[in-house]
């Protein structure tokens, strides 16, 4: 996986009829990961994709597939998504009783293990398992639906998450999901994030490939 800034287009906002074509467009434009939001209608009020979509994506790209599980009992999904070809498996600590056990299980299946924190979830939930994390995902909107606006208070949380990563392991990814666009990505990058999920900003743009490049450019301008 590439070092530095990572742009992860979310297929939640893609045209599923043209999914293979759209993935190829963003890949050729320099996208680093393909992000898949999995929702079960219980942990969040929406229902989306399963492991079959990851299998389909894996057939059309060699890019890492970054799976975000917004589901109850994520342990039930580890094996299916590993078999489907997921590269990163991120879940919410409130969704399972034994967070460390599930992180270890994810790693045992060859995937990077990530933990996602909702806007109201304290960073303390990640502190106790920081040594078991490969990725920390800060949600800058309440999960469940795309095209929401970034919650401004999230910027301070991103900064605190970056400090935790510095203290516990410089190799971890700090991902942000929610309201990422040309207008917001620079300040999120400046706050400490290095991996950016963008759905509607990319796939609803007139030129999704150009939008990937523009988002990366805005990060370089923030340095």
Do 103 and 115 form a contact (C-beta atoms < 8 A)?
yes
> Is residue 207 annotated as part of the catalytic site, yes or no?
no
Q: 37, 66, 134, 194: which one is catalytic?
A: 37
Q: Identify the active-site residue in 32, 40, 66, 177.
A: 177
37 is known as an active-site residue: yes
Dihedral, CA of residue 6, residue 11, residue 13 and residue 18, to nearest 10: 120
Q: How far apart are CA 131 and CA 104, in angstroms?
A: 11
> What distances in angstroms separate CA 182 from CA 153, 179, 191, one per listed residue?
18, 10, 15
* CA gyration radius, the chain: 16
**Residues tagged active-site:** 37, 177
């Amino acid at each position: 996986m590439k070092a530095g800034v990572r742009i992860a287009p979310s297929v939640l906002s893609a045209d599923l009829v043209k999914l293979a074509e759209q993935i190829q467009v963003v890949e050729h434009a320099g996208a680093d990961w393909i992000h898949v939001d999995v929702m079960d209608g219980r942990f969040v009020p929406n229902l989306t994709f399963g492991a079959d979509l990851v299998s389909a994506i894996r057939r059309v790209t060699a890019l890492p597939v970054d799976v975000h599980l917004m589901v109850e009992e994520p342990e039930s999904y580890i094996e299916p998504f590993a078999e489907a070809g997921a590269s990163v498996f991120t879940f919410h600590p409130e969704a399972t009783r034994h967070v460390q056990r599930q992180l270890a299980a994810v790693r045992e299946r060859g995937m990077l293990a990530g933990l996602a924190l909702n806007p109201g979830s304290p960073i303390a939930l990640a502190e106790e398992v920081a040594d078991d994390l490969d990725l920390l995902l800060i949600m800058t909107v309440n999960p469940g639906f795309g095209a929401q606006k970034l919650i401004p208070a999230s910027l301070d949380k991103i900064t605190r998450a970056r400090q935790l990563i510095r203290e516990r392991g410089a190799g971890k990814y700090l991902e942000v999901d929610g309201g990422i666009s040309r207008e917001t990505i620079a300040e999120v990058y400046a706050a400490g994030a290095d991996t950016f999920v963008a759905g509607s900003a990319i796939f609803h743009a007139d030129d999704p490939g150009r939008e990937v490049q523009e988002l990366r450019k805005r990060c370089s301008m923030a340095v």
